[in-house]
Amino acid sequence: MHEYDVIADWYASQRTGPMGVPEVSALATSLPAGAQVLDVGCGTGLPLTRVLLEHGCHVLGVDSSRVLLARFQANFPHVPVRCAPIQSCELQAEAFDAALAWGVLFHLRHEEQEQAIANIARALKPGAAFLFTSGDVHGSIDGAPMDGVPFRYHSYSVDGYRALLRANGLTLETTHTDPGGSVYFLSRKLGGSGARSPLSV
């Protein structure tokens, strides 16, 4: 997103806390050794890509911000990346054991979220987990500006995401809200017996 190119310095300075770390650690722990993980909206890679790598995962980072990806590559020079919107990024079919999209989907309009989830679903192996954050009330709102840059957020209800995931061959297993108010959705692609993550409802 162009907005993240503008606020990259501020974002990097703010994204230093533990938000998302317990959830991504739980996901990574549930995966097979050497799992292939798609990190959507990877940003600078800190802290969540680092968590995946520390658990022995092989990661492909995808982000539409060239500035944030430059920081990502400085932090993790050996991790492959793609600079593209996730809804149109070319991904190999059934290539990933899991996908993560932290703080990404709610930036996309509803139709773009549909395209993004469909693209991610195609890239997952049967039984693979997809963990993402978003709002849990259907609609679009103007959020507080970040470093002076306005953002608009879009989400479905929990039932709306459940239906959208089901339409793309995934089932919603659990939802969870962290102390900072981030709502996590853990889903899984049908057709396999992937390991269960210990995320709680």
Q: Residue for token digits 């709002």?
A: 135
Q: Is residue 160 part of a domain?
A: yes
Residue 10 clears pLDDT 80, i.e. is over it: no
The more confident residue out of 5 and 120 is 120
Total domains in the fold of the chain: 1
What pLDDT shows up at residue 147? 84
Residue 194 falls inside a structural domain: no
173 domain residue, yes or no: yes
pTM score > 0.75 for this model? yes
**pLDDT bracket for residue 200 (50, 70, 90):** very low
- pLDDT at position 193, please? 55
pLDDT value at residue 110: 98
CA distance 73 to 186: 28
On whether residue 199 sits in a domain, the answer given is no
Residue 161 within a domain: yes
Please indicate, yes or no, if residue 155 is contained in any of the structural domains. yes
Could you tell me if 102 and 132 are in contact, meaning their C-beta atoms sit under 8 angstroms apart? yes
What tokens does 94 get? 């059934």
Q: Give domain status of residue 25, yes or no.
A: yes
Residues 6 or more apart whose CB falls under 8 angstroms from that of 184 comprise: 23, 131, 132, 133, 175, 176, 177, 178, 199
Q: What is the average pLDDT score of the chain?
A: 93
* Segment 94-105 mean pLDDT: 97
- pLDDT band at residue 13 under the 50/70/90 scheme: confident
Domain span at 36: 2-189
The CATH number given to whatever domain includes residue 73 is 3.40.50.150
Q: Please give the pLDDT value at position 201.
A: 31
